[in-house]
Amino acid sequence: MERKLPKKLNFVLTLLFILFVAFLLYLANEKLDEYVLRVVRLIAIYGVMAVSLNLINGITGIFSLGHAGFILVGAYTSALLTLSPEQKMMSFIIEPIVPWLANVHTDFLTATLAGGALSALFAFLIGWPILRLSGDYLAIASLGFAEVIRIFALNAISITNGPLGLKGIPEYSNIWWCYGWLFVTVIFVASLVNSSYGRALKAIREDRVAAEVMGINVFKHQLISFVVGAFFAGVSGALYAHWLTTIDPRVTTLGPMLTFYVLIMIVLGGLGSISGSLIGAALFAILFEWLRDLEEPFVLFGMRVPGIKGMRTLVISVIFILVMIFWQRGIMGREELTWNNIYRWLKRRGESG
């Protein structure tokens, strides 16, 4: 028989947990220095990226590599909305900004929602052709579309300021915005997954043909998942832009490299697990910061070793490959960290011990 905690208890525990986390965040915001706090905020932004990609890749089984494209759309859209008209006029030096963008100026929430919405719209349009493809073709096609978006950002100078990118974006992504959006993302995605729709999405991942025969319109469901994932990717892009304060369309910032980073997070955490994505995002952010030392000069056995640039991404990629070869299920596999699962786990330990 399935062992379950009473619903009420479950709810109370969850509420307490959320309050506890909120309190921790409050403490962190008060006590931690700016540098550490930046990483703490980044964890939440990565979390939104990872959970949204995980909905598409891990839960629905659409192997999309286009996430950076959606993040880029969210980042640019929101930044163009929060930058003041004067700032925009000053920074667009190659070509002046198009008039319809020059004077719009909104608050951060509107800008973030607009970023998410435009990203979702892109996903809707891109989804029509690419979701008709299968497996690995879809992977390349989505990567290609992300590249097309990036090439557009590089060339549509009067909209994006081209290779110069956007600078001086206000640093609005404070701890509350970041974790607030993370909360919304997790609740939304978890609620979707734990519904009739979520089961249909998982069924598509497990066996596409059987899902179709069960009456599931596979294309439509994949499109829904893709659009929802893209919306939150756009939101994460908005948060990211207002965390970075400078964005540009290079390969290494909002290009394929970022998609790979997010992919690493969800693979490490466990493809298909929301809590895994969160753990993966946190681990990645921390590991990446921690490995920064590798690129600084350091002293080994009394010898001064010069810092080597690129060392930390190299280490990350080695870890990634090792995980794929030896530990494909990642930290959580497809399991979730729920009170029920913790309870069952404790009980089992109690019985065997």
Partner 1 sequence: MTSPTLDLSRKPILILDQVTMQFGGLVAVDDFTAEIRQGELVGLIGPNGAGKTTVFNLITGIYHPTKGKIVFDGIDITPLKPHQITHLGIARTFQNIRLFSDMTVLENVLVAQHHKFTNPDADRILKINGKSAKRVANFWFWRSVLKVGYLKFEKEMVSKAKELIEKLGLSKFMHEKASALPYGDQRKLEIARALATDPKLLLLDEPAAGMNPKETEDLMRFVERIREEFDLTIFLIEHDMKVVMGICERIIVMDYGRIIAEGTPKEIQNNPKVIEAYLGREWEGV
Partner 2 sequence: MTFFLQNFFNGIMLGGLYALIAVGYSMVYGILRLINFAHGDVMMMGVYFAYYSAVVFSLNPILSFTVAVLGAAALGFLIDRVAYKPLRKAPRISALITAIGVSFFLENLAVVIFGAIPKSFLDVFKDKSILEKTITVADARIPLLTFLVIIVTFAMFSVLFFVVYKTKIGMAMRAIAADIPTTSLMGVNVDNVIGFTFALGSALAAAGGIMWAMRFPNVHPYMGFVPGLKAFIAAVFGGIGSISGAVLGGILLGMIEIFLAAYFPSVMGYRDAFAFIILITVLLVKPSGLLGKKAIEKV
Beta strands in the chain (DSSP E): 298-300, 303-305
Cβ proximity to partner 2, 260 vs 339, nearer residue: 260
Q: Which two tokens stand for residue 198?
A: 């979520």
Binder of residue 321, out of partner 1, partner 2, none (CB less than 5 to 8 A by kind): partner 2
The residue within the footprint of partner 2, chosen from 313, 334, 335, 337 (CB under 8 A), is 313
As a whole number of angstroms, the distance between CA 124 and CA 131 comes to 10
Residues 226-255 that bind partner 2 (CB under 8 A): 251
Q: Can residue 98 be called a binding residue for partner 2 (CB under 8 A)? A: no
DSSP string, 169-205: ------HHHHHHHHHHHHHHHHHHHTSHHHHHHHHHH
**Is residue 244 within a helix (H) or strand (E), and if so which, with residue range?**
helix 218-244
**Residue located via tokens 């019985």:** 351
Q: Are the C-beta atoms of 150 and 68 separated by less than 8 Å?
A: yes
Mark the segment that binds partner 1 (CB under 8 A) among 149-157, 217-225, 250-258, 324-332: 217-225
Cβ proximity to partner 2, 7 vs 309, nearer residue: 309
From the CB of 115, what's the least distance to partner 2, in Å?
A: 22
Of residues 230, 281, 257, the one with CA closest to residue 45: 281
- Give me the 194-213 binding string for partner 2, x by CB under 8 A, dash otherwise: ---------------x----
Cβ proximity to partner 1, 212 vs 295, nearer residue: 212
Residues 163-202 that bind partner 1 (CB under 8 A): 188, 191-192, 195-200, 202
As a whole number of angstroms, the distance between CA 197 and CA 221 comes to 8
Q: Can residue 343 be called a binding residue for partner 1 (CB under 8 A)? A: no
The residue within the footprint of partner 2, chosen from 217, 328, 340, 341 (CB under 8 A), is 328
Q: Can residue 293 be called a binding residue for partner 2 (CB under 8 A)? A: no
CA 96 vs. chain centroid, Å, equals 32
Degrees to nearest 5, angle at CA 173 with 315 and 232? 75
Q: Which pairing describes strands 298-300 and 303-305: parallel, antiparallel, or unpaired?
A: antiparallel
Which residues are at the interface with partner 1 (CB under 8 A)? 1-2, 188, 191-192, 195-200, 202-203, 206-207, 209-218, 220, 224, 334
Q: Where does this chain bind partner 2 (CB under 8 A)?
A: 63, 65, 129-130, 132-133, 135-137, 139-141, 143-145, 147-148, 151-152, 154-155, 209, 251, 256-257, 260, 263-264, 267, 308-311, 313-314, 316-318, 320-321, 324-325, 328
